[in-house]
Amino acid sequence: MNRVQRIVVVGGGHAGAEASRAAALLGVETVLLTLDPSAVGRMSCNPSIGGQAKGQIVREVDALGGLMGRAADRSGIHFRVLNRSKGPAMHSPRAQCDRTLYEQEVRGFVDAAGVKVLRGEVAGLRFDGRNIAAVVLADGTEIECGAVVLTTGTFLGGVLHAGEDTQHGGRLGEGAAHLLSRNLSSMGLRMGRLKTGTPPRLLRSSIAWEQLELQPSEEPPQRFSFLDEPLLPRRVDCAITRTTPEVHAVIAGNLHRSPMFAGRIQGRGPRYCPSIEDKIHRFADKDSHQIFLEPEGLDNNLIYPNGISTSLPKDVQEEFVRLIPGLEQAEFAAHGYAVEYDHVDPTECDHTLGLKAWPGVYLGGQINGTTGYEEAAGQGFLAGANAALALTGAAPLVLGRHEAYLGVLVDDLVLRGVSEPYRMFTSLAEHRLLLRHHDADVRLAEHAIRLGVLESAQCVHVAQRRERRERAQVLLVQQRFQGRSLEEQLRTPNFGFADALAASPELQQLRLDQRDQDELGMAARYSGYVARELDSVERRRAEEGRHLPTGFDYAAVSHLRAEAREKLGRIRPTTVGQAMRIPGISPADMATVLLHVSVAERKSGTA
């Protein structure tokens, strides 16, 4: 079958923007279909990028040639690195962005890549046998394609909840995609329902800032992009306040009016980003919760009160917000709400994020059961790139768990599935010391260069940085100071990289920038730990490398538990290592499977 050399991306959020741009940069005609072309790259919830583990993902997307980090740098108005008091594997950059400027930057990157952005609601997919042939719009129009990337966000079957009020939509004031949801279900895909929420928006001018603890932006700022994108000339302060027992009493007294507690919301929400009513209920022993007041732009009068996401009725929201210190006179620009939406069980996908049963269909973002702009952007980039690579006959882009947080993210999704919105944490990465945000460009350079989507400036940057670091590492090992190598000295408490430079004129001649110095210093300090991690990765390669037959009949394996038979037959791992990461699969199960695989291979003569 000759597949049409066109990719259609459905949805214009963070996943859709990355997917469409990646596909277009790989040389494939790309159409981005969205309900509202003016909303491409819109920040639906908080006006920030990055955070714990999320900042690492943004830097990985940037290292591969994605747009999120560059757009965040260009629109950033407040920068911080979280977890500075912890080890380097935990350091996580975060930036508040001017919401309007960020959206404009994203759209500029999408347009510059040659993506054709069209308005339309996708009602379903048309197939030629099991292969994608076209997307079908609600008005009956068809757009033929050889691949489609679904990045529907919260719009797939979306319903908004605020107190007793409900309405269809994926975001306040916008529609939802119910026809596509029904079509995906009719394809036999396992579907689920999840929930997220957002806080009210307050007017900056109505807040008593003088009563609050201000949090200034860090200087110099930690950029996301390795290209050192130009920064805005101004910064803004955030502020911190807290809830009080009086606030909790109002919320607790109105839980019966919350759609979640009243049973009107069936979807499960994110455990680590609960609504304020859920916090009050689950942590009844706490009499205070922290709230960050985050400006939505340089000249924007809106404030995002991070920490009080809610779907309580509007009158209750106004009552409890005005009991919070500094917000006694707060004026509301918009009220908080919850959004409930459909998703596809991500175990329906393989490691390319393509559907196993429907070739040419890829999924990215919240449709896979994740939450967060950053997780969406990473999946969108991988799904869009893999759709284009498949159409052009190139090898797919699949990252290992030891290579990137994106590798951990995809591996977790397609092998473990989700029971709640998936959020990335550093604790989910067993090799997180190898996945520091500082060196994502060097770490992922080979993948980025193979893809060919990096701009020439990025290619030059990566090549020069790798060369500088390699030469510097040789000098650190070879040159000695006070009886030790410079690398050994850097492991001691009172010897910094400035001392190494002072001791080595050759090192000075490399003209290492601050980023090089910081990373080389950390690499030396943690070299023993890194060596052990690399040894652990090598030991696991044998397990990962043993392949399982693609069409193996697990149902025919005698003495295999019913749970293992069902999960292995449904998820169809390609290696023993993948199989062992499926929840509920025990070493005994794999021993039984491997015995039958060996017997089958001997009978077929492939052993």
Strands (E), 53-137: 76-82, 92-97, 116-119, 122-128, 131-137
Which among 81, 128, 22, 117 has a CA at the least distance from the CA of 364? Answer: 22
Segment 551-559 shows an average pLDDT of 88
Q: Report in angstroms the alpha-carbon separations of 378 from 196, 204, 363, 371.
A: 19, 32, 12, 12
Ramachandran class of 186: left when φ > 0, alpha when ψ lies in -120 to 50, beta otherwise: alpha
140 dihedral zone (left: phi>0; alpha: psi -120 to 50; beta): left
Q: Please give the span between the terminal C-alpha atoms of the chain, in angstroms, as a whole number.
A: 33
What mean pLDDT value characterizes the chain?
Answer: 93
- Residue 598 neighbours by CB under 8 Å, 6+ apart: 607
Give the model's pLDDT for residue 606: 61
- pLDDT of 269: 81
Residue 121: count other Cβ atoms within 10 Å of its Cβ. 18
Q: What is the mean pLDDT of residues 67-72?
A: 98
Rg (CA), the chain: 25
- Residue 237 tokens read as 């302060």
Count of CB atoms situated within 10 Å of the CB of 506: 12
pLDDT tens digits along 288-335: 999 999 999 999 999 999 999 999 999 999 999 999 999 999 999 999
Looking at residue 367, its pLDDT comes to 98
- According to the model, what pLDDT value does residue 607 have? 52
Question: Under 8 Å CB-to-CB from 115, ≥6 apart: which residues?
Answer: 9, 20, 21, 24, 30, 31, 32
Q: Is the peptide bond before 216 cis (omega within 30 degrees of 0)?
A: no
For 79-107, the pLDDT digits (tens) are 999 999 998 889 999 999 999 999 999 99
The pLDDT tens digits for 412-450 are: 999 999 999 999 999 899 899 999 999 999 999 999 999
Residue 9 above 90 pLDDT? yes
Percentage of residues of the chain with pLDDT beyond 90? 77
CA distance 231 to 217: 13
Whole-model pTM: value is: 0.94
pLDDT tens digits, one per residue of 163-192: 889 999 888 888 888 999 999 999 999 999
Q: Give the Cα separation of 252 and 121 in Å (integer).
A: 40
Which tokens hold the place of 312? 């309580």
Token pair of 209, please? 């800032």
pLDDT at 351: 97
What CA–CA distance (Å, rounded) separates 447 from 433?
20
What mean pLDDT do residues 354-377 have?
97
- pLDDT tens per residue across span 130-147: 999 999 999 999 999 999
How many CA within 13 A on the CB side of residue 332? 14
